[in-house]
Chains A and B, each alone.
Chain A
Amino acid sequence: MTRNPGTDLRTDGFADIRINTPAAERRAATLPARRSLKKDHQAAWLLNAVRCIDLTTLAGDDTPDRVARLCAKARQPIARELLDAMGVTGLTTGAVCVYPTMVASAKRALGNSGIPVASVATGFPAGLMPLNLRLAEILYAVEHGADEIDIVITRAHVLRGEWAALYDELRAMREACGDARMKAILATGDLKSLENVARASHVAMQAGADWIKTSTGKEGVNATLPVSLVMCRAIRDYRDQTGHVVGFKPAGGLRTAKDALNWQVLMAEELGRDWLRPDLFRIGASSLLGDIERQISHHVTGCYAAGYRQAIA
């Protein structure tokens, strides 16, 4: 996978962006109604969503054992008998996502499964620590084995239109990441306007983000389809401008199997099927997996499932 090297800061890449919010909302609202997935196709799309999940725990009471349980679920996200019934093997989530101090525990628990560990960093979720500390936090996570770093941007730079400042901090973070791939969390619920989301997306991509990500999960509004639509179009425009390919990660708003399908339809329709692979598409979620497993169980057995019969994360 070729990484996005970024470019110099080029404000002309996004200065003329016009986004009509009602139109974006209309597109987002009609997209799920335009595509329907049934039976085996639905099962395949749901399992694909599992492949793309960054199975996440970002709570104040996280412990090494709790993280280990999460990792066990990441290795066997859907009950083996259900997968066997469908002839699917080797299914894991896309990654697990934890705080920096939990990276080592996660690495240990995942062993040689090949599942990457993602760590949030840079003063997650507010990102208002001094820059040197935020960079040090990235280095700490990388040192403990993180394969991917989910950084947060300084929202103030976007709200104040300080693109150079935003670009510079993101560039520094990307350098600190080294070989670890970087997801830039825009915290779109704080940016509010869709044009802000689009501009911040472009700056993050120009600074070399491998994925752009909607939310920390801690804002008032997290991933929504209209915001995701705008970010996908920014990814498309950046590719058209530079030839570089960037991934997308919605986080914090996806809870149901239907959500998982809707977001995948968005990716397929707006960006194409390449963006249905875990190297270009991740879903930041914790409870989503449970609902997908329920749907899969129903697909295989024809009976509705009870939550207590499924392994929890």
Chain B
Amino acid sequence: MTSVSELMETMEYGPSVEDSGAVRDWLARRGAFGHFIGGAFTNPGTLFDTRDPATGETLAQVTQGTAEDVAAAVAAARQAQPAWAALTGTQRARYLYALARHVQKRERFLSVLETLDNGKPIREARDIDVPLVARHFYHHAGWAELRDTAFPAHRPLGVCGQIIPWNFPLLMLAWKIAPALAAGNTVVLKPAEYTPLTALAFAEICQEIGLPAGVVNIVTGDGDTGAALVAADVDKIAFTGSTEVGRAIAGQLAGTAKRLTLELGGKSPFVVMPDADLDAAVEGVVDSIWFNGGQVCCAGSRILVAEAVADRFQTLLNARMARLRVGLPLDKSTDVGAIVDPVQKDRILSICRAATDAGGELVGGAAGDGCFIAPGYLKNISPANPGFEQEIFGPIATLSTFRTADEAVELANNTRYGLAASVWSESAAVATDIAARIKAGVVWINCANVFDAAAPFGGYRESGFGREGGRAGMLDYLAEAPVEAVQEPAPAAPVSTTTGTGQPAALDRTAKLYIGGAQKRPDGGASYAVPGGLAPLGSRKDIRNAVEAAAKAGKWAAMGGHARAQVLYYIAENLSARAAEFATRTSQAEVEAAIARAFHYAAWADKVDGANVQAKPGHLLNVVNEPYGIMGIGCPNAQPLAAFMSLVMPAIAMGNRVVAIAAQDDPLAVTDLYQVLDTSDLPGGVVNIVTGPRDDLAKVLAAHDEVAAMWMVGGDLAAVEGAAGGNLKPVWAPAHRDWTGRQAQGETFLRHAMQVKTIWLPYGALPEGTGSAAY
């Protein structure tokens, strides 16, 4: 035993281990766990172990969920759903409020249980995970209360299947369950096989507060259980996990009409500008990649630092890294705990090896015994190195340099992911510009890994789609009022022809494709017969050319809403001047609808504002609506002009560029539009139009990696959704309807034409207590 005098010389911290007695008593009392279905725990089935990764000790045995278990859970949820949805908002809110309260009453228990099962430091479980869980239920108790006021004419989706990962087990549960319940859905949730215990403890809380049976169901198990849930009779799947599994789920759900949101992987950039507070940025790295052992989907794992400050930054980073304490997760002085499982540890080490084999240099990052890896980073690393590209999901960042702001942005965006980014600069002008240019769903300026229930969270690109948190998150658990759907007439197979149908009375006109603001002959040099003449027979190469042209028209978004509105108004004006001519091609009603659409979305172009969200004091939190970039639109095979305008106008009003496939059987009203678009000052490449076999062309569009979102009305939706799964672009399939009617216009179209970016900016001229709050 070291004496106090000796300790006064060494000044070591010593052990400070959180008591886990209450949790261990609970585990002993509970024995093997069954599922939680219909308000009760089932008898245990085939069991598997869940372990404490820090010691390898078995904590409990839980049941491997079968397809029958999943079906029983879904049936229980299905049975409970109508009554749950029929409660008033206030009644549902009271349950959510009780969940929040009970999480708080058991905060210590839940923190310790989470740390034991997952290996994260008790400080993080106690100070970050569990408080955010309670906050999430409180916030969504509010949404339950306000649902009918805030989202008029919306209704719940029904039964939601939810699959969550092991890195934030209870927090991800809260992110999934709270909005689903607030909206009036019931859920079947499958926790990760490594970390099922806090979900089972949460099931007890559901019993404690008297939540109606079947509203929340928990089925434990591995990936097979998850696959069974995806295949089950649910109305929505919400998945958080790896991009690989997300892609498989998207493929499995293609054509099923089930709703899907995905929160997937990331390789988020962490940009340190030369005018950054370098100490703050170093702490940002600690909060990013050394938080939760780097097992964070939005971790700032690619450090990009200005060459001018790179040496000093690394000196500070190395000093800070040396003081991090790796160790027993239950010790209150531990900074970095255990990796969740030996499988994950091996995966991390193998990526590091591949990175060093390719010339990277690993600083720190030594593997310890058991599931421990010391914090570290890879330097001398460039985009071509596998360590720069792959999500390591461990406490290892990459560090590389840039010369200028444009290069920083280029490197930041040089990734297939787009979940989050962190930007460090003391210049508001610089930081906000870089935040706008980075393609990511969440951008933290001068902070990292800050979360709040009111702040939408979710990805761009292959980091998934859909949002969790705030208003945007609620919308992903609600359905809009149904439209009066109309059966779409199936297109006829286009017959390629090189012989004209012959209209000798008039001067011959040749309809072409519209690509990059110019009329182009189809690459295949063929046409097909349509009412009124011949239409160019577009092919995959024409789609390629159209997307290329759209890619070059990026200035459209930067023009701003006012300038875009002017173009849309001008389109309405020019279309109006030629209304009679278009009416002969289509109908009076279609022309009027087409003019109305241009006029209507011109009005919206400068009014789809984001929000300044009140999440945390001292934080300016902007939720910004951004265009996707390039959108593919497959138009229905009817009402060619009205449908085209109803779909393309909202898309471009929001700043997207579009590649549209015109109504297959009757496209000439659309090809006639080219001159209208030309004379309306629409920049070339903003709208590109291809005619031909709609389903084939749409599939090519959906599979194109440069296309960020896809709309498809009718046709082979399964094939389009299957192809879109490749780069995980969202597909919206509005029902075919009367495109001249009221239901062919409105905010719904705008909402699907943009993605939400959440930008955090903590502010403060003076330390708290000496200044006053600005916002």
Give the interface of A toward B (CB within 8 A).
Answer: 18-27, 30, 33-41, 43-45, 47-48, 51, 86-89, 189, 192-194, 221, 224, 226-227, 233, 240, 268-269, 273, 276
Contact = CB atoms under 8 A, between A and B. Distances in A.
Contacts of A19: 277, 279-280
A47 B4 contact: yes
Interface of B: 2-5, 7-8, 11-16, 123, 127, 275-280, 283-284, 315, 323, 331-333, 335, 426, 446-447, 618-619, 762-770
Contact of A24 (B276, B278, B765, B767): B767
Contacts of B2: 40
6 nearest A-B residue pairs (beta carbon): A41-B14, A23-B280, A44-B7, A36-B332, A22-B762, A36-B16
Contact of B4 (A23, A88, A192, A226): A88
27 contacts: A18-B276, A19-B280, A20-B277, A20-B446, A21-B764, A21-B765, A21-B766, A22-B618, A24-B280, A25-B768, A35-B332, A35-B333, A36-B16, A37-B13, A39-B14, A40-B7, A41-B7, A43-B4, A44-B4, A44-B5, A47-B8, A86-B5, A88-B4, A89-B5, A189-B770, A192-B766, A227-B767
Contacts of A37: 13-14, 16
Contacts of B16: 36-38, 41
A138 to B, nearest CB: 30
How would you classify the secondary structure of chain B's contact residues: helix, strand, loop or mixed? loop
B123 A22 contact: no
B280 A41 contact: no
A27 B2 CA distance: 32
How would you classify the secondary structure of chain A's contact residues: helix, strand, loop or mixed? helix
A293 B278 CA distance: 39
A34 B765 contact: no
Contacts, number: 121
A257 B135 CA distance: 31
Given A22-B763, A226-B767, A40 B4 contact: yes
A134 B280 CA distance: 38
B448 to A, nearest CB: 10
Contacts of B5: 44, 86-89
A18 B426 contact: yes
Given A36-B331, A41-B13, 12 more contacts: A18-B278, A23-B762, A27-B279, A35-B13, A38-B15, A40-B3, A40-B7, A44-B7, A45-B11, A86-B3, A88-B5, A224-B769
A33 B12 CA distance: 17
B11 A268 contact: yes
Contacts of A40: 2-4, 7, 14
A43 B6 CA distance: 11
B127 A33 contact: yes
B11 A23 contact: no
A34 B333 contact: yes
A10 B158 CA distance: 69
A33 B11 CA distance: 18
B741 to A, nearest CB: 51
B496 to A, nearest CB: 64
Contacts of A227: 767
Q: Which among B279, B331, B426, B767 has the highest number of chain A CB atoms within 10 Å?
A: B767
Q: Which among A23, A24, A88, A221 has the highest number of chain B CB atoms within 10 Å?
A: A23
A266 to B, nearest CB: 12
Contacts of A48: 8, 11
A276 B15 CA distance: 19
B288 to A, nearest CB: 13
Contacts of B278: 18
Contacts of B4: 40, 43-44, 47, 86-88
Contacts of A194: 766-767
Contacts of A18: 275-278, 426
